[in-house]
Structure 1
Amino acid sequence: MIAVKRLIEILEEKLGKVIELHEIGYETVWLMPEEIDEQLVPIHVITHLADPVICESANYTDEKGDYYTLIVIETGNIENYEVLLKNDEVVKQSEQGDSI
């Protein structure tokens, strides 16, 4: 549920409104490293992780129809690796293990 909480935090800051928990979609996906898009998650972020890599994602569609997705990967660092997408385009990615 880390991805859900983080997406709510990010969107409340970005959109300036309260997002209700029931408005957020959530899933956990187990992927093999070769299945992960390197444009979303650089290979160096996952090379030390055991197979399969566990990814959490949360999504939200606003009243304009814009679709936000947050992908979170626990890497063993203090901060998780995060990727925020809007309408399937990368908006922001973690840098050097920092949260977005």
Structure 2
Amino acid sequence: MAMPPDEFTGCMFAAVNTMMLDVLAAVARKDYDDRRRRQAQGQERAKAEGKYRGRPEDTRRNSSIAAMLVKGLSWSQLQDANGCSRATVGKIVARSKGTMSM
């Protein structure tokens, strides 16, 4: 049976464990940032070559949202009915306001 460590050893183990977690978190963050940077570079290159256009707009869903907006449905109802985000509804609202003012 092992002897329990003294207070100093316990504090040292806790400090080393904390340091190791900090190092692992820093490495994970650097890896994440590197992947994001490389992906952005790849997208820029593909756009310059005309190969990348992004995800196509779902015009059918967006026209459905616009029609429901005219009927006066709430944003939450629009989200539930179309399975979209609040940002998507906001984009359609802003777009419809832009066409209304012209």
TM-score, structure 1 as length reference: 0.17
Which structure carries more helix by proportion?
2
Higher RCO (CA 8 Å, separation ≥ 6 residues):
1
Asked which structure has the greater CA Rg, the reply is: 2
| Superposition TM-score, scaled by structure 2 size | 0.17
Q: Which has the higher strand share?
A: 1
